[in-house]
Structure 1
């Protein structure tokens, strides 16, 4: 089990933007001084469904790459477009076969019903391709709206923050870039891991060489829920709060600096949001 961090540590680590007003009390106008939660973004494999870690081992074996090599980075680094497409189709075939064994995460239905009842927008940002995502949504989440759904076709992928900033912008959440220093910081965040991408100019995180950057997607009112370091880092770099859905394989991320809060089941998040999200708090299920 995970121990709660002391309040002094939480407040030293956690900026105000990582706190949200309790959803249970918004109707009574209490806690109006706290920021309002504007939406929740979810990863897919290991988050909306149980982890299928064997899938990634199969992919690396098929591509003949070791564990420390990122699968997508390897594919994008291949010298020709035909080699990249062939490698991509290899991992798609594994995903198609594996998606038939998807199992919903415990608490999935209750959390989605709660978010819908509170009119909280839901989006998806995943490194999966579209077919297994659509399969999961149709099998376990029929009737629940997720928009936008950012899949592998969006580049650069997580841990780059561009996908989350695109979602923020699509929800009308933007902020003005204030002065040259702020613009420099924003460009550094958006370009650092995107430098080699041919598709880094995306709505929501538009960075054009030599052009003035006037606004950027604002994810400070959002929560990123995931199970990997890519999810936590993408959320942190985008300015969102981060929630780790912990399991035996990722428990080392519970104390990672990019993780704001840890839950053991998806529906643990219901109580957290009802009472007011406070990051760097380790939440234990019943």
Structure 2
């Protein structure tokens, strides 16, 4: 049996000569495709598209696809986000992107988490547990909305005086500036605490973050709209509109760093690589398939970026 291997960007594929003669009356083709990879349940429509592509490249008759939904070696592997090394003299390997910019969440990412705020907000505005705070307030009548946001902002102003920068914050920002990597912020907070953090916990020689997406931007995370607005401002995308195509088909040369499920969903759906900053109580998020990498402190990214960054899932 002679094997031929192909890499179409969706994993390694192998086309094998099918044994002849066969006792299977339903098999009348001379090719049989095997999709090799990790544990990944095949999607029928995607596989059919890939099969057609391979069939054309082989100049052979159409290929028969065997469905597989169980653990096996004949599985389709999705393409991994990968960035070229930034160290001096390094070159990009085939398929690697050149990183253009990183978007950061604020609370819990640029500064230590202040999760106690959320319980105070719910109590102040009588928001039921399980309801999204911003969605709940936006659904209120205009006058009540204004009053609710006033209470929320009072809590945030009090908390901002207790902000503590994340370990490795300054060294990572200096590294990104040295390599001319753009920096942006996408947060559900309002602008005053953001400006307080940047003014009080980053040296003046650090290049500014731009754009900075705050609560005034709608829709907020977990929508990818804010991140795509930043991508458009950086010239990465032609439009800030949210595409209808799957994120895997439009990987962007940017990273979203955050500590919450909203950050990870927004980054993933925008087409960015997602990096989770580890925090207590969010261990399940480390296993989420939309989380591409996990770090324990911000400056861990420096060595990863120097050597080349590849998603682990």
TM range (shorter): 0.7 to 0.9
Matched, 1:167 2:224: no
Match of 2:307 among 251, 275, 285: 275
Larger radius of gyration: 2
TM-score (norm 2): 0.71
Deviations along 1:40-60, one digit per CA (max 9) or x if unpaired, are: 000000000000000111001
Is 1:90 matched with 2:90?
no
In the alignment, structure 1 residue 77 sits paired with structure 2 residue 139: yes
**TM-score (structure 1 length as normaliser):** 0.77
Q: Give 1:115's aligned residue.
A: 176
In structure 2, the partner of 1:21 is 84
Q: Is the 8 A contact 1:254 1:262 kept in 2?
A: yes
- The number of aligned residues is 239
Within 5 Å, which residues of 2 pair with 1:144-163?
144=206, 145-163=208-226
Task: Kindly state the Cα deviation for residue 12 of structure 1 after the two structures are TM-superposed.
Answer: 6.4
Q: Which of 243, 257, 262 is matched with 1:186 structurally?
A: 243
Higher helix share: 1
Q: Which has the higher contact order (CA 8 A, sep 6+)?
A: 1
Offset at 1:102? 0.1
- The SS at the match of 2:188 is coil
Offset at 1:30? 4.7
Answer yes or no: is the 8 Å Cα contact 1:168–1:174 preserved in 2: yes
Q: For residues 264 and 13 of structure 1, what CA distance do their matches in structure 2 show?
A: 27
| Aligned structure 1 segments of 4 or more residues deviating by more than 6 angstroms | 9-12
- Superposition deviation, residue 174 in structure 1: 1.3
Instruction: Rate the CA distance shift 1:168–1:30 in 2: closer, same or farther, 3 A.
Output: closer
| 1:56–1:34 Cα change, 3 Å | same
Q: Are residue 47 (structure 1) and residue 109 (structure 2) matched?
A: yes
Aligned Cα root-mean-square deviation (Å):
2.6
Q: Which moved more, 1:43-52 or 1:29-38?
A: 29-38
Q: 1:250 aligns with which of 277, 282, 285?
A: 282
Q: Which residue of 1 aligns with 2:53?
A: none
Q: Distance in 2 between matches of 1:245 and 1:173?
A: 24
2:84 and 2:91 in contact (8 A); partners too: no
Query: Secondary structure of 1:220's match?
Result: coil
Cα deviations across residues 5-47 of structure 1 (Å, max 9, x unaligned)? xx9569966524x11001114x443536511111000000000
User: What's the offset of the Cα at 1:140?
Assistant: 1.0
Paired residue secondary structure (1:51): coil
Q: In 2 relative to 1, CA 14–100 (structure 1 residues): closer, same or farther, beyond 3 Å?
A: farther
Tell me, yes or no, if the aligned pair for 2:85 and 2:91 is still in contact at 8 Å.
no
Question: Partners of 1:219 and 1:280 in 2: how far apart?
Answer: 15
Which secondary structure does the structure 2 equivalent of 1:67 belong to?
coil
Alignment partner of 1:140 is 2:189: no
Query: CA 1:53 to 1:20, structure 2 compared with 1: closer, same or farther past 3 Å?
Result: same
Contact 1:21 1:32 in 2 (8 A): no
5+ residue gaps, structure 1, are 1-6, 178-182, 190-217, 282-286
1:95 and 1:132 in contact (8 A); partners too: yes
Q: Is this contact kept in 1: 2:82–2:95, CA < 8 A?
A: no
Would you say the 8 A contact 1:40–1:222 is kept in 2?
A: yes
Q: Give the aligned partner of residue 257 of structure 2.
A: 225
